Structure 1
Amino acid sequence: MVLARALLVVVALLAQPLGSRSGDAGAGDLHPVVLVPGYGSNQLEAMMTAAYEPPAPACAGAADHRWFPLWPNHAAMRDASQVPCFADQMSLVYDAGADDYRDADGVATRTPFFGSARALIGWDRLVPRLEGMGYRDGETLYAAPYDFRYAVAPPGHPSAVGDRYFRDLGRLIQASRLNQGRPAIVVAHSFGCALTYQLLLSRPLAWRRRYVKRVVLLGPALGGFAAGMYALSAGMDYGLPNVTRPTMLRLARSQQSALWRLPTPLVFGDRPLAVTRTATYSARNMSGFLEAIGFAEGVRPYLTRVLPMWEALPAPMVPVTSVIGFGVRTPETYVFGTDGLEGEAEVLYGDGDGDINMVSLAAVERWSEVEGQVFKVVRLPGVHHDGFFSTDFAVKSIIAEISEAGESLEHIGVVSCQQKCSD
């Protein structure tokens, strides 16, 4: 019943024209909360069509044409024979002629439960706390899952999946029309922060101020991170057993979102990120790095579809709280030996949250200097990038920020959870 109600709300939001409202029943005094998950917290389902040519007979779902879980993929985690199937079905295709990304031939995908907190993976400690405050799934509490393999593109470049998600996310944020016109509190994590930020920039200022009460960014990586380079060099195994290097590279490099992880020149400047015996690569020569790792086909989409979106970090001009972890060893520079970029690397560490470098986490703090931009940062000592929903005092801190967002926030400041969240 909860899921059905959430889906009905989403349908109503998508159908209503801008600016309309429907009653205030059940809204209480709460501002609606919209949860935008990070990369791995989204579910993804797939179905094989008649055009699909499986790479192996064992490929699940290739014959019955039914929807099945693509991510998380427990079948591939239990059975190594399913790994080639997973890689084949999970990989995207960049169509250079169309200048856009799409699923592989014969593969259809979808993100289930849009609008409902049931869609989220790993948020099961935060959601019950919100429900204990009076929030109700599909009434005042919504989730906006997405296909994490995709991203969006700058003006002039098509992005069918990304544009559709922005349309749906924007409509979901307008849930204030079902809650006495109250603007929404948007809580985003990790890659969801980048998507939320770009959505805000794509909307008129009047829209942002009308529909957004505050944005709470958890572990924002708006400048990329060093480990994003290593993933393109070494590949990704998604925690699956016995994944070959070519398969890991395909999984990493075929996804549009992989290029969004790369450190940006604006934030990282000339810092050495990948070092070989003959070359040093920084965010300023990322094209050279992509060519050196044998991913020359990634240069064009990086230069035309990714870099233009991160050449500046203008303030979104809605109240923002940035919640970050710090004091966790975080990969900062990869030093490669005799095998070059194809070999193992010695990792040099710096400060951050274990995944995201501190220079990227702190990039949004420049907004505190922008006139009219309300900004606050909460720093959580020792909290890993994946620990916002599993560390008790981090969950308490998030709840506190959501509670505070229902009130006016007129100050700019830095809060250490050592003082605020230890009780």
Structure 2
Amino acid sequence: MDLSRLVAVAVLLGALRPLRSHCAGDVKGPHPVVLVPGYGSNLLEAQLTAAYAPPAPGCGARKGNGWFRLWPINQTAMQDPRQVPCFVDQMSLVYDAVADDYGNVAGVVTRVPFFGSTHGLTGLDPLVRELEAAGYRDGESLFAVPYDFRYSVAPRGHPSAAGACNFDDFTRLVERASSLSQGRPVVVVAHSFGCALTYQFLLGRPLAWRRRFVKRVILVASALGGFSEGMNDLAAGTDYGLPNVARPSRVRLARSQQSALWRLPTPTVFGDRPLVVTRNTTYTAHNIAEFFEAVGFPEGVRPYVTRVLPAWEALPAPMVPVTSIIGVGVSTPETFVYGEDGFVGTPEVVYGDGDGDINMVSLVAIEKEWSGVEGQVLKVVRLPGVRHDGFFNVGFALKKVVAEILEAGGTVELHPKIGRVQIDAGPVWKEDRCRVHEDVWFE
């Protein structure tokens, strides 16, 4: 056999190497893992067509020049204030009241690159490296569901083109990951906003499908009840990390996102807790529609009442094993008190417990709602002092997350007793009906 054939055989044998097992006696290797990232951990690319009407000089310079990185924000936009109006316009969504759905500004086309692969994630590199060190391989036993975080999904009876396409792709990815692993069900690991998407995704699949394809769901820093700062974002806006963004631009960025309404505190979880206080009114999760009117966002009332509230009016158990990992003991905004200047002023912030972003009442909503449900296996892990964005860059937190993934991915079931809760203190080009994107898919 000549040298070239020997090299080819060696490469083939290397490609066919088995995954290391994490459980004694498991000769098949661990169950595949599917990562669903948090809100800002997704790549987003855009291109401008001839239909794009630039809001400021220079914003149309990329017309006809192909795809460019829209998110994360490029350094040019960070340093050049002239690029701020361009980013704000191209990042914003538009709610079409007639179609009852959200879409890009006219002339802006977006895509999420590398669907299915961890190459499409940002900020999760430490977690990916740890899993790869444990034997997982991208596209073989390790996968990801990046998404356009500006969107969400809608309840039955309301269209959500972007969200429905993402869930279709999510379904096919899980099924394919299972197929590549000899039919073993997957371990889904979600963080932050990805937890809310994963939860709604599970509820939208038949129970038999969930039990066939999902071995365990690990929710890291989940906020299935929203969080208080979601209210202030709609009042004051968000700058997405850009310096010196004028208030109208911040407000447009915040209010145009379909997903922003999903981040609001839900009545089911927050009840009558004061969220925003002004001289004349106290706003709770029960009168958010009135809050919209007060901050000058009346156009948000209809999509909030019809597309958001029905999806979060209850928190039914998903009926697949769940591990919830949360940070606790971190000062977290709880109530925003506006003074004489009203909503154009800077509020005084009252703090409570949580992970720095998500309030404790939302972090523990899973435990409260599911711990007594027959057939729902739930494990809760509390990590004192870990912030919302620290699970993948704080050493002991990362090790705990990885340990939970490896344990869930083995062949030994975690805490199989029914209803038990354990508290741990401690690129291929593809075009389909949905979108055009560069991703790692399976054809």
TM-score surpassing 0.5?
yes
Q: Where does residue 212 of structure 1 map in the other structure?
A: 214
Does residue 1:413 correspond to 2:416, yes or no? no
CA contact (8 A) 2:48 2:60 kept: no
CA change 1:324–1:66 in 2 (3 A) is: same
Once the two structures are TM-superposed, the CA of residue 379 in structure 1 deviates from its matched residue by 0.4
Which aligned segments of 4 or more residues in structure 1 are displaced greater than 2 angstroms?
A: 24-28, 60-65
Once the two structures are TM-superposed, the CA of residue 64 in structure 1 deviates from its matched residue by 3.2
Map 1:271-350 to 2 at 5 A: 271-350=273-352
Matched letter for residue 62 of structure 1: R
Matched letter for residue 80 of structure 1: P
The CA deviation string for residues 9-51 of structure 1, in whole angstroms up to 9 with x for no partner, is xxxxxxxxxxxxxxx9856412110000000000100000010
Map 1:7-406 to 2 at 5 A: 26=18, 28-59=28-59, 61-74=61-74, 75-174=76-175, 175-365=177-367, 366-405=369-408, 406=410
CA contact (8 A) 1:61 1:67 kept: no
The CA deviation string for residues 202-254 of structure 1, in whole angstroms up to 9 with x for no partner, is 00100000000100000000000000000000000011012100000000000
Give 3-state SS (helix, strand or coil) of 1:39's partner.
coil
Once the two structures are TM-superposed, the CA of residue 172 in structure 1 deviates from its matched residue by 1.2
The CA deviation string for residues 284-339 of structure 1, in whole angstroms up to 9 with x for no partner, is 00100011000000000000000000000000000000000000000000010001
Q: State the number of aligned residues.
A: 394
More helix by share: 1
Range with greater deviation from structure 2 (54-63 or 91-100): 54-63
Distance 2:346 2:73 in 1: 27
CA contact (8 A) 2:49 2:64 kept: no
The CA deviation string for residues 139-191 of structure 1, in whole angstroms up to 9 with x for no partner, is 00001100000000000000000000000011111210110111000000000
Distance 2:197 2:61 in 1: 31
CA change 1:178–1:330 in 2 (3 A) is: same
CA contact (8 A) 2:235 2:251 kept: yes
CA contact (8 A) 2:355 2:388 kept: yes
Distance 1:299 1:342 in 2: 20
Q: Where does residue 5 of structure 2 map in the other structure?
A: none
CA change 1:137–1:60 in 2 (3 A) is: farther
Give the TM-score normalised by structure 2. 0.87
Distance 2:343 2:79 in 1: 31
Give the TM-score normalised by structure 1. 0.92
Distance 1:73 1:60 in 2: 17
Range with greater deviation from structure 2 (166-175 or 148-157): 166-175
Distance 1:358 1:293 in 2: 26
Report percent identity of matched pairs. 68
Q: Where does residue 18 of structure 1 map in the other structure?
A: none
Once the two structures are TM-superposed, the CA of residue 60 in structure 1 deviates from its matched residue by 6.1
Distance 1:207 1:64 in 2: 43
Matched letter for residue 62 of structure 2: A
Distance 2:31 2:375 in 1: 22
For structure 1, which runs of at least 5 residues remain unmatched after alignment? 1-23, 418-423
CA contact (8 A) 1:49 1:65 kept: no
CA contact (8 A) 2:18 2:29 kept: no
Give 3-state SS (helix, strand or coil) of 2:159's partner.
coil
Distance 2:378 2:205 in 1: 19
CA contact (8 A) 1:323 1:378 kept: yes
Matched letter for residue 253 of structure 1: R
Q: Where does residue 21 of structure 1 map in the other structure?
A: none
Matched letter for residue 264 of structure 1: T
CA contact (8 A) 1:275 1:281 kept: yes
Once the two structures are TM-superposed, the CA of residue 343 in structure 1 deviates from its matched residue by 1.4
CA contact (8 A) 1:42 1:148 kept: yes
Q: Where does residue 421 of structure 1 map in the other structure?
A: none
CA contact (8 A) 1:61 1:68 kept: no
Give 3-state SS (helix, strand or coil) of 2:323's partner.
strand
Once the two structures are TM-superposed, the CA of residue 67 in structure 1 deviates from its matched residue by 0.3
CA contact (8 A) 1:149 1:256 kept: yes
Distance 1:66 1:81 in 2: 21
Distance 1:401 1:244 in 2: 43
Give 3-state SS (helix, strand or coil) of 2:54's partner.
coil
Matched letter for residue 165 of structure 2: R
Distance 1:224 1:329 in 2: 17
